[in-house]
Structure 1
Amino acid sequence: MAKGRTEPELSLGPGDLVARWPGIGYTRAQELGNMGVKTFEDLLGLWPRRHQDRSVITPLRMLRDGETATVQGEIHSVRYDPAKKILRVQITEGRVTLMAIFFHATWIQRQFHEGYHAVFSGKVEKRWNQLNMVHPELQVLAPGERPFLGFIPIYPLSGSLKQNFLQRMMRDIVPRFAPQLPDPLPPDIREQQGLTNRAEAILHQHFPADLPSLEESRKRLVFDEFLRMALAVLIMHQIDPNTPGMVQNPGGPLVNKFLASLPFPLTPGQTHVWNEIQTDLKNPSPMARLLQGDVGSGKTVIAILTMLAAVDSGFQAAFMAPTELLAEQQWLVLQNFLQPLDVPVAFLTGKDRNAREYRAALKEGTIPVVVGTQALIADRVEFKRLGVVVVDEQHRFGVKQRARLSQKGEYPDMLVMTATPIPRTLALTVYGDLQVSRIVGLPPGRKPVETIHLSYRERRFAYQTVMTAVKQGDQAYVVCPLVGGDDEESQVKAAVDLAEGMKKVPGWRIGLLHGKMSSKEKTRVMDEFRRKELDVLVATTIIEVGVDVPSATVIVIEEADRFGLAQLHQLRGRVGRGNKAATCFLIADPKTDQARERLEAMVHYQDGLKLAEEDLRLRGPGEILGMRQHGITGFQLANPLKDLELLQRARRIAREILQRDPQLMAPEHRLLRHWVGGALEDGIPAQVLH
């Protein structure tokens, strides 16, 4: 603790609020809170973004132009030029001087006092025989204070928080509180896996003595993240093997009539997946299967077969979609296929005027198939005999919503579908014991969508292509950019402005679709577009999934660099759904290398799984899956691609632990039980851990 600073209370523990630490104050506590840090234990988990090697101080006389170095000297002068907003701080070491230059950083000026010492780290520039550093990392030393050397943590910041303040605070807090945290990993597992204890790992992740200690600490903490996630997911999907499920008949008359009515045979990929599902349906254990299929691969046909197997067996089937627009799309598709088979399909949303009538029919069992949104999981919705649950676009649902629908029946068979391609490493981690199936290949007649990246100067070509398509009787989408922020309001404004501009083109019939419209308005616009009463649909990313209009052959995505790869791929999937060639235009002048790489990947790859792996490599797992939407917190240090070996080890250990102790009730697992409970945002459900 540096001189002149108030000593913290001796009674403070890891669970106490950081606001009680001397020098933090209300404002800094609020800014730490914005980063998810409330307690000292939270603060220990605020991992550095990187470390800077300041283990060696280079004498000023030894500096060379262009090198990166850490230097120390006495502050000789502090000069601020208000006209140019430049701060110059000169330090001396003997007769040699160095000038640190800061632009637009008046707040730094208050830290410097002549006679104090300063440590600067940065790139050396030599101009007119003067050594300079521009915006170096800095540490100002009060009289008697020793410099903080070694591998220096560089932390994420929020608001007015300063790097120097966080580093000073962490130097005092981490060594004090890390040893007080219990280690949830049983000693035998820790020794077997060759891992350091957790307190030491936390300390060295913040302040490593050298690179090997940093690597060892990361190895332990990454293993912890994987183990915690694996245990949480496996527990969420725990079903007693003796739990009786429902035996379904996948070869009944409705299934056979439906297959015979299809205008095309199942693709090899669909056939393979359907065979896997048939095996599950015949088995008395409840099915829990994840169905992955690229955009347009024919997942809906597999879902219909699965639901008809339930109806053939005397059960009901429920199909849940994340939004009213998608639910209505699927309802129309199901009606089209099932009406000729005399299978009624109800549509249930929270606002449906016929909801009471439908709920009564579901309870009586007179409605065999229902499509809906989260209204299906409402307490007042009851089924007579729910046999199959199909959940579409799973990444938009939380674990709790999915579980609540399952509880509407006596362990019904569940099919979870997603068009968001998920690399196997992540699917295994997030979906736990769900069996993973993937439809490989596209239905006959589907052509790859040509993808072209255009700069803003070249975007005229995209709209000329739209004009040509419209003249040929085809249709187009234009996806509006995010303007002035990433919120829905800004996106809606962009869509409205874009649509108004396009309406000035003679002969074009322009429609507008965005999330702020009422369900009735959305339905009206989509119906008009389907009936070809509109030529171009200007939309927000509301059309990302589920919208199926075969005559749409062109999509223009403005400011495409603002979207992730998975989202771009979904948007591209809105075209090419008929038998005509289709084109996707990505309009962007990317400002970062990562954005450029995303657009290049879109141009070069059609395969959604390959794109998902690229997205994982570029952006990390959290953003691809929206892990918090699963009810499970994401990774901070771990990367499933980079750390695949540790992921596999952690999953194996998780399985071994739960085989011996399914509810983590053993004394040696008490800390694990509490630790894993925190991995689920609302805790592990009571029916699993009781």
Structure 2
Amino acid sequence: MKAMREGSQVPHYGARDPITKWPGIGPKRAQEFANLGVHTLEDLLGLWPHRHEDRRVMTPLDQVHEAELMTVQGIVQRAQYDRFRQILRIELSDGRGTLSVVFFHAAWLQRQLPTGQQVVLTGKVERRASQMTMVHPEVQTLKAGEPPLLGLVPIYPLSGSIRQGFLQRLMKEVVPRLAPQVADPVPVAIQERYELIGRAQAVLYQHFPPDLTLLEASRKRLVFDEFLRIALAVQVMHHVDPEVAGLVQNPDGPMVKAFLASLPFELTPGQQKAWETIQSDLREPRPMARLLQGDVGSGKTVVAILTMLAAVDAGHQAAFMAPTELLAEQQWQVLHRFLEPLGVPCALLTGRDKQKAAAHEALQQGTLPLVVGTQALIAEGVGFSRLGVVVVDEQHRFGVKQRARLSLKGTYPDMLVMTATPIPRTLALTVYGDLDVSEITGLPPGRQPVETVHVTHERRKEAYTAVRQAVMRGEQAYVVCPLVQGDDENGGAKAAVDLARGMEKVPGWRIGLLHGKMSSGDKSEVMARFRAHEIDVLVATTIVEVGVDVPNATVMVVEDADRFGLAQLHQLRGRVGRGNKPAQCFLIADPRTEQARERLQAMVQYHEGIKLAEEDLRIRGPGEVLGMRQHGITGFQLANPVKDLAWLQEARQVAVKLVADDPHFAYPEHKLLWQWVRDALDDAMPSQVLH
């Protein structure tokens, strides 16, 4: 970086250049930047500060007082490191006064803060032992004659040996140099309508804002861009090629009617409403792309079977894709039980099946109407004769890319995506914007809400008393642990293997163990024994989170429940109460954070998945709740769909109108816009879908 400042010949840098092209960044540091998602100089420009510290006022040391945040400058007069306690203490002087400063776990700082080093510190000041002390501040070391970085100072996320001071100095050189090269893909008319500053300005001011007004103007522009890019991407996916006709299914056919007649119950109003909407889609030549949201146990599988049988009645094939081999096998057993009496063949195809060759041939010849599988269904070599319907279960485990690849197996088949992980309405159009959304509300007759109880470790006996009583009634129970085996680094969290060994000593209890490190065959065997009631209590990890269906299981115990997210806890709770017997879920935890306490309180208070999703969004914010990278589209960095809901809605309106008016981005002013959206889609969808 020194060469950058002093060299007479200034090299040219392009935004797409690898980060190693910048002086001072070698392979090791490049790997640490890669951990932050930074591979190119353009990526570096988009490494936004997670906050700014207000260092516009420098306080002389003789005027220091107790404060939440204060910035001071001085010279290190003395430094002392306590190796046993890993505490570094320094004394700072500016000629007018002195200040005591303490750092924790700061062995690495010894080398940066020798006696005589000039520094700028920003941190909390408190009174300790009758003297003012600054506690673990941000450090900016200065070379001789180097001016301090003042104003609204960016604070960046870090990785490995990358320190804040190094990154701030690097950004101070890179951003002003490269920000002017940033192209602005948003048409001028849209910028003027919403009073947005230029994108190059927004990038510069997000890193180094002259004042709070321009920082907010920068955020407004970049938030709008994030929403607009994703909204345009999902609109493009929704309008892949509207002129290409799909296949018309037959939702009034004999198999559909026979299946409905064979059910020992009537469809719930929620199921009936969802099925009526899907029937309308299936009768049209335009390919269906629908998301079916339904809480745990709401009856989505029955609606999926009706959808697949509509394809069979039309002479087409249907594929059901599950996220794991365990769930694929379980779904196949459910489908087989329903379809065998109707004489409809249904095969299971996963990555480990030995009969794959015969199944592949039957699919290609069209003699096999239905198949259930995992991602093996999108593998090379799996072909269909006439694929009409694709059902994807638990979409949050699949990306857009996998879904699109399966679509390419047929001539634009109808797609039904099912999820029991509810998404707040404010976000559904962003996450699943390429899909029409239906919801199944309500539970099947006889189902009751699961009583949820939070107990501390001191009261965990209450949970296991409920397990014992359930076993005595001839019912079954789950005990879920956060770990497979013990690990001291996890603070004593319960491990499935250890707990199962201990529970095997309880007289009369038949214990089973299930975790992700077991082979697929062993997992299937354990689940088969649990379904057959050869196991009373199944000790497991979160492998039972999704789709496992044993109606006789009435008690769920979750050890160290504060280590799980709300969506996970809700899914785990959904494994019990699937029959007509009352069920209980015990959450054992001594929560150590306010967030953990709020999660457990929400689980006790709410039973509806959509309400829990809204609580999750409130507690954790959108970045973690969405997990949008799993959907194939990069998630939000600055935008908050709750706080910025108005901008989300505006951006979506712009995207809908723009794609409707210019679906092929043929207008000259949309050329850059298309490249911008295309870059977002490249990793999300196979290229065949976009051409």
Report deviation, 1:433.
3.3
Q: Which residue of 2 aligns with 1:238?
A: 239
* 1:478 equivalenced with 2:490 (yes/no): no
Q: Which residue of 1 aligns with 2:390?
A: 389
Q: Which residue of 2 aligns with 1:630?
A: 631
Quickly say closer, same or farther: Cα 1:612–1:370, change in 2 above 3 A.
same
- How far, CA to CA, are the matches of 2:222 and 2:68 in structure 1? 33
Q: Which residue of 2 aligns with 1:195?
A: 196
Q: Which residue of 2 aligns with 1:65?
A: 66
Q: Which residue of 1 aligns with 2:147?
A: 146
Quickly say closer, same or farther: Cα 1:50–1:361, change in 2 above 3 A.
same
Structure 1 contact 677–684 (Cα < 8 Å) conserved: no
Report deviation, 1:578.
0.7
List aligned pairs for 1:88-167, cutoff 5 A: 88-127=89-128, 129-167=130-168
- How far, CA to CA, are the matches of 2:20 and 2:364 in structure 1? 54
Q: Which residue of 2 aligns with 1:571?
A: 572
Q: Which residue of 2 aligns with 1:28?
A: 29
Which stretch of the first structure deviates more once superposed, 630-639 or 376-385?
A: 376-385
Structure 1 contact 397–630 (Cα < 8 Å) conserved: yes
- AA in 2 matched with 1:134: V
Q: Deviations over 1:601-653 (max 9, x none)?
A: 11111110111122223333343343222221211111212211111111122
TM-score (norm 1): 0.94
Structure 1 stretches of at least 4 aligned residues deviating more than 4 Å after TM superposition: 1-9, 81-85, 113-116, 483-486, 489-493
Structure 1 contact 476–553 (Cα < 8 Å) conserved: yes
- How far, CA to CA, are the matches of 1:23 and 1:114 in structure 2? 26
- How far, CA to CA, are the matches of 2:441 and 2:229 in structure 1? 32
Q: Which residue of 2 aligns with 1:354?
A: 355
SS in 2 for 1:136: strand
Report deviation, 1:384.
2.7
Structure 1 contact 483–490 (Cα < 8 Å) conserved: no
- AA in 1 matched with 2:236: I
Q: Which residue of 2 aligns with 1:295?
A: 296
- How far, CA to CA, are the matches of 2:173 and 2:574 in structure 1? 53
Q: Which residue of 1 aligns with 2:367?
A: 366
Report deviation, 1:514.
1.6
Q: Which residue of 1 aligns with 2:603?
A: 602
Q: Which residue of 2 aligns with 1:318?
A: 319
- How far, CA to CA, are the matches of 2:465 and 2:642 in structure 1? 41
Aligned residues: 688
- How far, CA to CA, are the matches of 1:519 and 1:67 in structure 2? 54
- How far, CA to CA, are the matches of 1:490 and 1:404 in structure 2? 42
Structure 2 contact 76–93 (Cα < 8 Å) conserved: yes
Q: Which residue of 1 aligns with 2:329?
A: 328
- How far, CA to CA, are the matches of 1:583 and 1:63 in structure 2? 57
Q: Which residue of 2 aligns with 1:181?
A: 182
Which stretch of the first structure deviates more once superposed, 266-275 or 247-256?
A: 247-256
SS in 1 for 2:48: coil
Quickly say closer, same or farther: Cα 1:139–1:270, change in 2 above 3 A.
same
SS in 1 for 2:495: helix
- How far, CA to CA, are the matches of 2:238 and 2:384 in structure 1? 22
Report deviation, 1:491.
13
Q: Which residue of 1 aligns with 2:207?
A: 206
- How far, CA to CA, are the matches of 1:83 and 1:425 in structure 2? 51
List aligned pairs for 1:41-60, cutoff 5 A: 41-60=42-61
Q: Which residue of 2 aligns with 1:650?
A: 651
Identity value in percent? 66
Q: Which residue of 2 aligns with 1:540?
A: 541
Quickly say closer, same or farther: Cα 1:478–1:491, change in 2 above 3 A.
farther
Quickly say closer, same or farther: Cα 1:457–1:187, change in 2 above 3 A.
same
SS in 2 for 1:153: strand
Quickly say closer, same or farther: Cα 1:419–1:491, change in 2 above 3 A.
farther
- How far, CA to CA, are the matches of 1:328 and 1:257 in structure 2? 24
Report deviation, 1:26.
4.0
SS in 1 for 2:688: coil
Structure 2 contact 323–398 (Cα < 8 Å) conserved: yes
List aligned pairs for 1:432-443, cutoff 5 A: 432-443=433-444
Which stretch of the first structure deviates more once superposed, 466-475 or 308-317?
A: 308-317
Quickly say closer, same or farther: Cα 1:617–1:121, change in 2 above 3 A.
same
- How far, CA to CA, are the matches of 2:371 and 2:95 in structure 1? 83
- How far, CA to CA, are the matches of 1:492 and 1:101 in structure 2? 33
Q: Which residue of 1 aligns with 2:612?
A: 611
Quickly say closer, same or farther: Cα 1:137–1:274, change in 2 above 3 A.
same
Which stretch of the first structure deviates more once superposed, 56-65 or 595-604?
A: 56-65
SS in 2 for 1:679: helix
* 1:344 equivalenced with 2:345 (yes/no): yes
Quickly say closer, same or farther: Cα 1:108–1:353, change in 2 above 3 A.
closer
Structure 1 contact 97–131 (Cα < 8 Å) conserved: no
Report deviation, 1:201.
0.9
Structure 2 contact 250–310 (Cα < 8 Å) conserved: yes
- How far, CA to CA, are the matches of 2:684 and 2:266 in structure 1? 46
- AA in 2 matched with 1:143: A
Structure 1 contact 281–287 (Cα < 8 Å) conserved: yes
Report deviation, 1:583.
0.9
Q: Which residue of 1 aligns with 2:520?
A: 519
Structure 2 contact 102–133 (Cα < 8 Å) conserved: yes
SS in 2 for 1:36: coil
Structure 2 contact 151–210 (Cα < 8 Å) conserved: yes
Q: Which residue of 2 aligns with 1:507?
A: 508
